[in-house]
Chains A and B, each alone.
Chain A
Amino acid sequence: MVKYSYYPGNVARQSSREIEDTIHPLCRSLGIELVEITGYNSDGGNIIKQGNRELQLALNARNLALAEINGHDILTVCASSQGIMHESLDTFQKDPIALANANRVLEKTTGMTLKADEITTSHLLHILIDEIGIDKIKAAVVNPLDLDIACYYGPHMQRKGACGEDDPWNPTYMEQLITALGGQPIEYKSKTSSVGNPSLLSLGDSVMKMTARVLNDAKKAGAKVLVTACSQSHSNLDSYQGKAGRVANKQTNIPVVNLTEIIAFALGHFTDRYAQLRTRAIIIGS
């Protein structure tokens, strides 16, 4: 068993419970123990940063300090959260003044101090490929996916250092994973493009067009299912896909699932949900 401090992100325990449903059984199947970060707070979603950069940094410093007390590196399931936490940690490691400022606030408000010297933060995807290994995942597959699957990474964690050893601009980790799970990865060009999630509620047509671009590219490339590593962007790609298609005048109907769901399905969990997904992919198409 390898242990990680688990940071669910902003939606896994709210509007996207399916992530929380699936992350735990899949981790058990692959020998990963998730240790709760007791009292973790929101990472700010790069929304709080728009009003006050230091405030978002301090909120992340608290989460990192709690994880240091846990004694395990951080695992998250959201690409957006991974991007934000990695950027915060990078700031603390490179800018001693920023670390000192955050620690001044932390000490005064929580009594904790962040060292930021050894802890790391990773997305589940990078832990699976870099730490667990493709061979072990292959060996754990119970229900091979056998679907044409497009992988969506989004831009948030696609930066050097934030996405393991993967190529930030032409990532292949999720495709490797889908292959290992028995699916057929479909290449399409906008897999790291933004769908504008941070402005989903504040901007109109442009966010819908960005969402439609990704969905339509994946569909045109022949995908039957789209898997997303970003639980925030899932809302755009799934709930808003009909509206996005109408605004952009593009075909956008395609089943969209979170990365944790598709892995759990392949590892033999939630067979009823997997059956529904296959039905949607093959018959209903959205």
Chain B
Amino acid sequence: MSQVAGNPDLAIFFGSQTGNAEELAGKTAKMAKKAGLNPKIFDMDGFDPATFSSHKRILIITSTWGEGDMPDNAEDLWLATEGLNPSLAGVSFSVCAIGDTAYDEFCQAGIDWDQKFVSLGATRVHEIQLCDVEYEPEWDKWAKAVIPLMAGVDGGASAAPSGAVEVEAAASEAPIAVPAGASGDLSGLLSGDRSIAIFFGSQTGNAEGLAAKTAKMAAAYGLEPTVIDMEGYDPAKFATHKRILIITSTWGEGEMPDNAEAVWTAICNSTPALSTVHYSVCAIGDTAYDEFCQAGLDWDGKFSSLGATSIEEIKLCDVDFEPPWLDWVKEALPKIACVDSTGVFQEDLLEQMRSYGVGDAEDEGDAGDFTPPSIVVPELSVTMRLFRYDPLLAQSGYDTLAVALPGHATIEDALVAVKREFDGSLTFRSGGIAGQNPLTGIKVNGRIVPADTTRICDLVGDGDTLTLEPLPGYEVLKDLMVSYDRFDESRSDSKPWMIADPRQGERLASGAPMGVMSSAEATHLHTLADVGSLQLVNAMSDTYDVDEAYSGPGIALQRWVRSQDPRSGSSHVKQMFELMQGKGGVWNEADISSIHRHGIDGAQAADSLYSARARLLAEYKFTGKPGRLVKTYSRSVKMSGNVNETTLYRSVLGPLGLGSNIMNGVSLRMMLGFTRNGGPLMRGFQGMLIPPAGIGKIPNMFNSKVANHHEVVAIFNELDRRF
């Protein structure tokens, strides 16, 4: 830690529109803390410019919005500063500005603050840093240079002004602020290691949710919570925590939930000493079961037998678990917060601790404005196999890396880490921070997933291999980045825009006309179209990358939704049907089950394909090979209870298809099939000789009827008389 001159306070202001600058402010604070400074982060929103001068050290991190404008949260402060023009003599500062060189007014907001501070008499300790869209490397360079300079600035003796709006960094990174009202003893208790591990064993997510809420409340008692998924946890590490809370449900007949099963087995086999641990357990269960809350009772008994000290008696919660959990957490948190950094329970400070935390903790208990903390999953050691393609050299292959990653990191996090640490030329699509980006799709161990929102721990376990490949079906531009031109062209051809018929509507208060739709219709439409990315849905099909004419299941889904929209005009609906029925349409999909297995989006797309096919069969009266296939298949099942393959081959392929099979050797392989497999020779001859079969490996020309065949016929007649 470097030497800091005088008061170590450092004020870090952020002006942020999308959260990037705020995130950098948090990271800067973390670096500053390591350098011995006492960083405080200030949202520019609501800050009084008159109090700028009470800070000796100021760092400003701001983005620029629109055409060189301040971000929304900095607008008022900028205007107020312009109006007030306070003297900033004695203030040392530096600015880090984030922008986009694609705009004329690149980083203008940061430049404005830099010039304003100089004009008001502040001392610039480091030149303004202008950062482009890939801002992190430039910010990093600036922060590493400016923090030692700030540590060298004399901080004087003044404290931070009251009334400032302080923004808490992420719980695990937040500098601990000791309240002015805390007593000396409590101050001592609140310094040093304040970590608390909150483990959850969860089957349906209830315990996980409670763990997150408990973590939020723990911060009110000056604790630094880490929420830990029991999945894959090494029980030897329990002893590294002084404070542990366990929240677990019980599954089945008194069993551990799935994510806790392995760690429970492991701890039963390893029996680590936990004499330095204080703990408490909250168990969720259902009194309707005999083994009510057994998993929680097991953990409580196990920790006790391993020498851990129960700080609060186990709480058993029934199905309405929130009220008893809240009772438990209000008792357990202040007590466990009184365990000091040496692991000793300071019972005499309990009342003070209760008074200190109770106000905030009660507020946090409400679900209202609750923001769950990030959930930490144990680190995973994985082998990454990365597909690489160099378009200049037309070379492709795989890079293999052994890496250790936080289990909760996303695929994109892993790729960013590889790009930074190993190979800056690695190319992939980034989702940014704005939530799921439908274009970040990637193939990971055969699964089609969005890279920006898919966690590594949801795909592989410790020691596994993570094979990352570009989305199938699209042209690879470089490495993992594909071109979506194929999708865009199909989408354009499908004319997905609304072409409506005149229909009944209402008028808004402004007099403008507006169409109406019943809520049932609207819900149905939204349900049909409820997939994250149509581009990804296309890549889920195993057919899409072998059939260049196929527009893909994503496009089919879009066309189907448009055809089902009650606002669509009849001619537009007809056009959608023709597109779906025609070349490249829904019948080009060779196997819908390859789509269906890709999670919720895949199932949704598959359902829509089935619905579309059923509608098209009715519309076009079972014409074409697909129509003949469905009709013949269904009729053969109705006629005998089973499929008659002979009839299928003959009816669907027709004479030309059968001839083609003979020419291509298919029939010969069929005929010789039983001989190859060692079966009786006669079976092969049956397939060749007995009419009206197509030549082939068909031993039973006409199926015998199944027992109670009339039941099958009755089912067909009840549900569909077309067959």
Contacts and interface: CB of A to CB of B under 8 A. Distances in A.
Given A47-B634, A202-B652, A239-B666, A207 B597 contact: no
Nearest to B629: A202
A183 interface: no
A198 B591 contact: yes
Interface string B434-448: 000000000001110
A196 B591 contact: yes
B708 A202 contact: no
Interface string A34-73: 0000111110111111111111001100100000000000
Interface stretch (B199-207, B285-293, B403-411, B696-704): B696-704
Given A41-B642, A42-B641, A155-B594, A276 B678 contact: yes
Given A10-B643, A201-B652, A108 B591 contact: no
Contacts of B610: 49-50, 53
B587 interface: yes
B162 interface: no
Given A10-B643, A48-B633, A206-B588, A239 B697 contact: yes
A11 B645 contact: yes
B637 A48 contact: yes
Nearest to B467: A189
Contacts of A209: 546-547
Interface in A230-286: 238-243, 246, 255, 257, 261, 270, 272-274, 276-277, 280
Interface in B685-716: 696-700, 703, 706-709, 711-712, 714-716
A15 B699 contact: yes
Contact of B630 (A48, A238, A272): A48
A202 B629 CA distance: 7
Interface in A170-203: 170, 189, 192-199, 201-203
Nearest to B671: A239
A55 B714 CA distance: 11
A241 B669 contact: yes
Nearest to B597: A159
A52 B669 CA distance: 34
Contacts of B622: 51
Given A196-B542, A270-B678, A41 B592 contact: no
B594 A193 contact: yes
B367 to A, nearest CB: 28
Nearest to A169: B446
B574 interface: no
Given A14-B698, A17-B679, A58-B719, A156 B641 contact: no
Interface in A81-96: 83
Contacts of B643: 10-11, 14, 42, 45
Contacts of B677: 18, 257, 261, 273, 276-277
A105 interface: yes
B665 interface: yes
A13 B645 CA distance: 11
Q: Which of A13, A80, A109 has the most chain B CB atoms closer than 10 A to its own CB?
A: A109
B445 A83 contact: no
A240 B712 contact: no
B350 interface: no
Contacts of B661: 243
B464 to A, nearest CB: 8
A14 B699 CA distance: 6
B687 to A, nearest CB: 8
B650 to A, nearest CB: 10
A144 interface: no
A174 B682 CA distance: 32
B626 A202 contact: yes
Contact of B673 (A41, A55, A109, A239): A239
Contacts of B703: 14
Contacts of A83: 593
A39 B634 CA distance: 17
A210 interface: yes
Q: Which of B447, B547, B597, B669 has the most chain A CB atoms closer than 10 A to its own CB?
A: B597
B653 interface: yes
A203 B590 contact: yes
Contact of A108 (B543, B679, B718, B720): B718
Size band of the interface chain A makes with B: 35 or more
Nearest to A265: B678
A148 interface: no
Given A39-B706, A58-B715, A199 B678 contact: no
Contacts of B712: 41, 59, 62
B590 A210 contact: yes
A18 B680 CA distance: 10
Contacts of A48: 630, 633-634, 637
A273 B613 contact: no
B593 A42 contact: no
Contacts of B356: none
A194 B594 contact: yes
B711 A110 contact: yes
Contacts of B709: 39
A76 interface: no
Contacts of B117: none
Interface in B622-638: 622, 624-626, 628-631, 633-634, 637
B478 to A, nearest CB: 22
Given A62-B715, A207-B590, A241-B669, A202 B625 contact: yes
A168 interface: yes
Contacts of A109: 711, 714-715, 718
Nearest to A156: B593
B484 interface: no
A201 B625 contact: yes
Given A41-B641, A105-B718, A273-B678, A201 B649 contact: yes
Interface string B311-334: 000000000000000000000000
B698 A155 contact: no
B669 A238 contact: yes
Contact of A243 (B592, B666, B711): B666
B52 interface: no
Contacts of A201: 625, 629, 648-649, 652-653, 657
B670 interface: yes
A52 B720 contact: yes
Q: Which of B637, B669, B673, B699 has the most chain A CB atoms closer than 10 A to its own CB?
A: B637
Given A196-B543, A202-B625, A276-B677, 14 more contacts: A14-B700, A15-B696, A15-B699, A39-B708, A42-B641, A48-B633, A59-B637, A59-B715, A201-B648, A201-B653, A202-B652, A210-B546, A273-B679, A274-B678
When A and B form their complex, which 7 residue pairs have the shortest distance between CB atoms, in order from nearest?
A273-B678, A196-B590, A39-B707, A109-B714, A194-B591, A209-B546, A206-B547
22 contacts: A13-B700, A14-B698, A14-B699, A42-B642, A45-B633, A47-B633, A47-B634, A50-B614, A51-B613, A51-B722, A58-B719, A109-B714, A155-B591, A155-B594, A194-B591, A196-B590, A198-B590, A206-B547, A206-B588, A257-B677, A261-B677, A276-B677
Interface of B: 445-447, 542-543, 546-547, 550, 587-594, 596-597, 610-611, 613-614, 617, 622, 624-626, 628-631, 633-634, 637, 641-643, 645, 648-649, 652-653, 657, 661, 664-666, 669-670, 673-674, 676-679, 683, 696-700, 703, 706-709, 711-712, 714-716, 718-720, 722-723
